[in-house]
Structure 1
Amino acid sequence: MNKNIIYIAIAILVGLLGGWLIFGGSSEDSKSNKDASNMSDSQDHSADGEVQMWTCSMHPQIMQPEPGDCPICGMDLIPAESSADGLAMNEIKMTKNAMALAGIQTSIVGNQTTDDENMISLSGKVKMNEEENAVQASYFDGRIERLNVNYEGQEVRRGQLLATIYAPNLIAAQQELITAASLKESQPALYKAVRNKLKLWKLSEAQINSIEESGKVKENFPIYATVSGTVSEKMAAEGDYVKQGQPIVKVSNLNSVWAEFDAYENQISEFKKGQKIKVVTNAYTNKEFDATISFIDPVLNTQTRTVIVRANLKNSEGLLKPGMFVTGKIEAKANGTTSQFSIPASAVMWTGERSLVYVKTNPNEPVFEMREVTLGNRIGETFTVVSGLQDGDEIVTNGTFTVDAAAQLQGKKSMMSQDTADDEKPMSDMKMELSKNTQNIFQKSLKPYLKMKDAFVDSDAKNTSAFARETLEEIQLIRESELGTMEKSHVAKIKKMLGAISENDDIENQRSHFVILNQNMVPIVMNIDNIDSKVFIQKCPMANNNKGAFWISADTEIRNPYYGDAMLTCGSVIDTVQ
């Protein structure tokens, strides 16, 4: 019986232990599974909070919050890579090593200094004072036997011998004088009329008396300068036959010059005639010249939205040379133009009428975002910024195009992927400062360029390379010392693209370089003054992966260089340079 009790107790203990193992373990598993389920739910909810973006493999600038078709090419959109580093949609991140290799530099923009915060700065040029110009003309018909003015810029003084002229009419008039002199007692009126006739031809009393006393006829007569100044233009040469009143030389008095500035539409109210203005030039950085506003153009230039403000400058020391770039500073009214930021020209990229900069959005990391800005005046190598930046913003000032290229590779918004406006005025507002020599070189380079364009139309890679090489040979004659920072950047890119085209034998690869070549070539050509032959700026909206591409043509007829026979007439004329 005791044994039975023992057996029953053992059975109960075994039953309790088995029950605990079965139901207790199941409870723990249930709890564990519940916790895992809760964790999974939490993770799923977190995943649901992330917004999945969709993009096009051919057009990475397209970003949509839901799947569908690409609005450009119609291809199915694919999921965009999620940003693991927390970047915004249009931000791009570069490594510090890449920035160092590319020489990328940034600077912080801010308001002008206290001394200048109430000053308006204008950029302009020194010009000849047209009120002080004089034309030295011939007073009688004849042939120039000797011209004593040899070159432009030569100084002449009043009374100086300018030229000697053989004048048949004067030979006859001298003979009349000699005859009338013998009859002056009997016919004084005739004698007086003959002398007056010679005076009208600007012969002096001494010259007339000399002819009368000697009784000899002179064949050649001198022309003396009636004003003092600098020869600004030679209008005749030795051996030329000139008519009475025909100009021989143009003389400018450079003791007084003009400084002409471009003032923007929103600044016009700040200026009035008689107002004092301080003028400085790069040639004399520590010297200020006092000037007075003498003229404000009554007509606004509709292309640049500026008016000419002209100031008179005394130049008795001859320090100011016509053609010099100058900066004018004038005190703004208390309620007038507010102070503006100034940024280097190297920080700005141009896409038609847009001006773009890259802003560093993270002070501790190399993260950048493209931003559109509105520019004001250009002052030397800087631009004033009307809108688009704030005090303390850090922008890329060197290596801007490198940052933009990185943005393109990462499929972010860039200069190339900017949406274009409906009204196309390509690059016409981009003001460049080009020397006369640089303009002449670019005009010469247009001849091989146009042949290269025609070779693209014919899809002839061999001739395309040859004409690109000819164009590059012309461009390489440009002196870098005559270029500003922005102009240097464009010319360097032009040389690089022409070199790539000339060394390549694949027409499609050449065309991709031709796109970038024209982005830099077109704005320079549009800044050429008095171009020899009219050219047309044309654009195909479908070229360059539907981003649009420009080219220069000598004819209005569309001959598309980007597609050859496939789309020969795709495009339109959007501007004219003449």
Structure 2
Amino acid sequence: MRTASRFAIVIVVLVVVLGGIFGYTFYRFGKMQEQMSQPQPPAVIEATTAQRTSWIQAIKAVGSITAINGVEVANEVAGVVESVGFDSGDRVEKGDILLRMDTSTDEAALRTQRAEAQLAVQQFNRTSDLLPKRAVSQAQYDEAKANMEAARARVNEAEAQLQKKIIKAPFDGTLGLRLVDQGQYLAVGTPIVEINMLDPIYVDYTISEKELINVDVGHDVVATVAALPDEEFRGKVSAINSSVNPQTRTVRIRATLKNPEQALRPGMFATIQTVRPQERDVVTLPRTAISFNTYGDFVYVLKEKDDGQLVTERRSVETGGTRSGRVEVTNNLEAGEQVVATGLLRLRSGQPVEIKSEGNKNGSPDQQQSGESSGGEASN
């Protein structure tokens, strides 16, 4: 009996304890449901308005600076450097002597060839005098004439070989670093110095094949380089390649830039904007107001409900060019519509919001006379 009584007491205690635990849990769960059922306070956001403005049409691309004329001067014949007539970085004109090689052996060979040529001329003259008298045959006359012409050709060859020992500037330009020293033996094709024509100068770049229709010879070009980020170099499109690269579907463009201070050097990386003469009206937003992703770009448009509450509406849009932090919206958004300006990742469609401040993020629409286009595409 005592054992049964104790067991009953234990059961009662367990029921009381478990009942208390379950009751408290049920109470907490009810409170949580009550809190969750209450409407969430509106999210505080910053808003901006889609604006319509005029943009100069431009295509942004990247490319490289290239000299109009640029070569690495090398020797055609082997020899020893007798004298060097330039220093690194000199500006030279076409025909200036850069280097002389030892020519003593070539000069001796030239004297020998000239003496042989003189003898051949004398023999030909004697044969010519004897031919009318029939003292020599026509074959002897022809042989003497051929020997004379061959001797003269050997003289010309020796003179040309001698001239190759004098290295001259092939065009006006600026020299690079000197790569040889006086007294050095140069094998055929040894680099001596680099020479480049720097003003004007080329910039080569590529654009998408679909933009080919928007570019023509004579269009203005504005280029910038990392070494001089605050300086713009202006020029014009001078040539368009006659074919499209079948692997990349791009077209190579060449523009000629003014470079009077020779600040641009071959090999520099450049950002290029090809500017078309026409302006067009575009609808723009700050870059922060657009979510860019692989599934499509979108914005959160602000809509007012009947009770006056602002809510978000996720809307897919198509984007075009960019300029000074603003992006062109080409489809599905009208000028004057309000959108969320920042913090798009923490929002969802249909969410109540409250505007903290309204303004144009990243500045007003750019009114510059040149612009850029996102991803190298034109602001058509």
TM-score range, shorter chain: 0.5 to 0.7
Asked if the contact 1:359/1:368 (under 8 Å) is kept, the reply is yes
Amino acid at match of 1:295: I
Partner of 2:199: 255
Amino acid at match of 2:272: V
Pick aligned residue for 1:122 from 24, 41, 59: 59
TM-score, length-scaled by structure 2? 0.53
How many aligned positions are there? 282
Asked if the contact 1:376/1:384 (under 8 Å) is kept, the reply is yes
Structure 1: how far apart are the matches of 2:237 and 2:210?
A: 21
Amino acid at match of 2:214: E
1:208-223 to 2 correspondences below 5 Å: 222-223=166-167
1:276–1:254 Cα change, 3 Å: same
Deviations 1:197-255 (Å, cap 9, x if unpaired)?
34434728xxxxxxxxxxxxxxxx552212122457x7966698755356544433222
Pick aligned residue for 2:92 from 147, 150, 157: 157
Instruction: Confirm whether residue 84 of structure 1 aligns to residue 56 of structure 2.
Output: no
Pick aligned residue for 1:200 from 160, 164, 179: 160
Partner of 1:298: 243
Amino acid at match of 2:59: L
Asked if the contact 2:204/2:253 (under 8 Å) is kept, the reply is yes
1:100-119 to 2 correspondences below 5 Å: 107-113=48-54, 116=55, 119=56
Instruction: Confirm whether residue 359 of structure 1 aligns to residue 295 of structure 2.
Output: no
1:394–1:161 Cα change, 3 Å: farther
Instruction: Confirm whether residue 176 of structure 1 aligns to residue 117 of structure 2.
Output: no
Choose between structure 1 and 2: higher helix proportion.
Answer: 1
Pick aligned residue for 1:310 from 254, 260, 283: 254
Structure 2: how far apart are the matches of 1:143 and 1:396?
A: 75
Instruction: Confirm whether residue 136 of structure 1 aligns to residue 76 of structure 2.
Output: no
Asked if the contact 1:156/1:229 (under 8 Å) is kept, the reply is yes
Offset of residue 280 of structure 1? 6.3
Who wins on radius of gyration, i.e. which is larger? 2
1:262–1:244 Cα change, 3 Å: closer
Choose between structure 1 and 2: higher strand proportion.
Answer: 2
Partner of 2:220: 277
Instruction: Confirm whether residue 328 of structure 1 aligns to residue 328 of structure 2.
Output: no
Q: Any idea what SS the aligned residue of 1:324 has?
A: strand
Amino acid at match of 1:136: V
Amino acid at match of 1:252: N
1:160–1:370 Cα change, 3 Å: farther
Asked if the contact 1:137/1:249 (under 8 Å) is kept, the reply is yes
Amino acid at match of 2:44: T
Amino acid at match of 2:255: A
Instruction: Confirm whether residue 390 of structure 1 aligns to residue 334 of structure 2.
Output: yes
- Bigger relative contact order, structure 1 or 2 (CA pairs below 8 A, ≥6 apart): 2
Q: Any idea what SS the aligned residue of 1:200 has?
A: helix
Deviations 1:436-483 (Å, cap 9, x if unpaired)?
xxxxxxxxxxxxxxxxxxxxxxxxxxxxxxxxxxxxxxxxxxxxxxxx
Partner of 1:226: 170
Amino acid at match of 1:391: A
1:366–1:313 Cα change, 3 Å: farther
Offset of residue 177 of structure 1? 2.2
Asked if the contact 2:68/2:200 (under 8 Å) is kept, the reply is no
Offset of residue 340 of structure 1? 3.7
Structure 1: how far apart are the matches of 2:120 and 2:286?
A: 81
Partner of 2:130: none
1:486-505 to 2 correspondences below 5 Å: none
- CA RMSD, 1 decimal: 5.0
Partner of 2:43: 94
* Stretches of structure 2 lacking an aligned partner (at least 5 in a row): 1-35, 122-147, 352-373
1:176–1:131 Cα change, 3 Å: same
1:257–1:299 Cα change, 3 Å: same
Offset of residue 384 of structure 1? 3.9
Q: Any idea what SS the aligned residue of 2:51 has?
A: coil
Offset of residue 308 of structure 1? 3.8
1:172–1:331 Cα change, 3 Å: same
Asked if the contact 1:270/1:332 (under 8 Å) is kept, the reply is no
Structure 2: how far apart are the matches of 1:382 and 1:201?
A: 65
* Stretches of structure 1 lacking an aligned partner (at least 5 in a row): 1-80, 87-92, 97-104, 205-220, 412-429, 433-578
Identity %: 16
1:261–1:128 Cα change, 3 Å: closer
Asked if the contact 1:173/1:194 (under 8 Å) is kept, the reply is no
Structure 1: how far apart are the matches of 2:185 and 2:322?
A: 48
Structure 2: how far apart are the matches of 1:365 and 1:280?
A: 49
Offset of residue 295 of structure 1? 0.9
Amino acid at match of 1:291: K
Deviations 1:159-192 (Å, cap 9, x if unpaired)?
44544556xxx55423312444555643565774
Asked if the contact 1:124/1:327 (under 8 Å) is kept, the reply is yes
Asked if the contact 1:122/1:379 (under 8 Å) is kept, the reply is no
Pick aligned residue for 1:244 from 188, 207, 219: 188
